[in-house]
Amino acid sequence: MQSRDKAQEIARTLQQLGQLGERAACLPDHLKPATRTEAYAAQACLEGLSAQPLFGWKIAATSQAGQRHINVDGPLAGRLLAERRIAAGAAVPLAGNQMLVVEAEFAFCMARDLAPRARPYARHELVAAIASLHPALEVPNSRFAPFEAAGAPQLIADNACAEYFLIGEPAPDNWRSIDLARHSVSARDGSGAIHAGTGANVMGDPLIALTWLANELSSQALTLKAGQVVITGTCIKPFAVKPGDHVMADFGPIGRIDARFVG
């Protein structure tokens, strides 16, 4: 099977599983991506099945807790599909979701394109390319069950477990004076319990994670585009949600964001 045909078939298979609310232990042997490049090619075909322009990107498994949660040893990039965005404060459907967790994340909206190049992007270049910072929530999911056994290439093809996401209002312009690595983030779950963490849980610093994403895309000949939003990974350990829960994440001076969950 030609590589393009294989990527398209992987994307169609995973899309069909999602539409039917079904899960697979793994892809058929002839469709399993052998490399990250093959997996990202399938992910690109998944983007092609979307009716809207790409909203942005996510980074999965940027914390040790996140890596343990999906049983990988490093971060994975995924696409944020515009039709999966939910307004802040609105209801998030959990029907068919097997992960049943929520994550509190920093989100960066980009001011300019960062095109592929041979030389890696540096942190200061990413900082200069940011238009705004936002609080965000992500509700991941997977088409594999058990997703812990799928492995990184299949999970990348599965859009790095992307599902629903919520983006809050932009932070005040002085956010650049905040040390995001040391910045505290907390979230109240449906029972009222508080879950806490810091930006350091995101690869040591959310800006390091953002830089990783730009270089990961560059290695795949992809451009991080102006106007796209990147959610950089959870600052707190993913915690369980169920229908009826109301979750509030507090990023201090950066802002707050909440979501309600329905069946």
Mean per-residue pLDDT for 54-76? 89
Full DSSP string of 182-209: T-EEEEE-TTS-EEEEEGGGTTTSHHHH
In a domain, 182, yes or no: yes
In a domain, 257, yes or no: yes
Mean per-residue pLDDT for 215-243? 97
Strand blocks (E) in 68-116: 76-80, 91-93, 101-110
Number of domains in the chain: 1
In a domain, 155, yes or no: no
The burial of 148, by beta-carbon neighbours within 10 Å (0-12 exposed, 13-18 middle, 19 or more buried), is given as middle
pLDDT at residue 121, rounded to an integer: 98
In a domain, 248, yes or no: yes
Q: Is pLDDT above 90 for 1?
A: no
For 118, the domain range is 54-141+163-262
Mean pLDDT, the chain, integer? 96
Q: 55 by DSSP, 3-state: which? A: coil
Chain segment 68-118, per-residue pLDDT in tens: 878 898 999 999 999 999 999 999 999 999 999 999 999 999 999 999 999
In a domain, 16, yes or no: no
CATH classification at residue 72: 3.90.850.10
Report whether 125 contacts 207 (CB < 8 A): no
CB atoms under 10 Å from CB of 23, counted, come to 16
In a domain, 5, yes or no: no
Report whether 230 contacts 135 (CB < 8 A): no
Full DSSP string of 149-177: GS-HHHHHHTGGG--EEEE-PPPPGGGGG
In a domain, 6, yes or no: no
* Cis, peptide link before residue 170, omega less than 30° from 0: no
In a domain, 221, yes or no: yes
4 pLDDT band, cuts 50/70/90, is confident
φ and ψ at 41, to 5 degrees? Answer: -65, -40
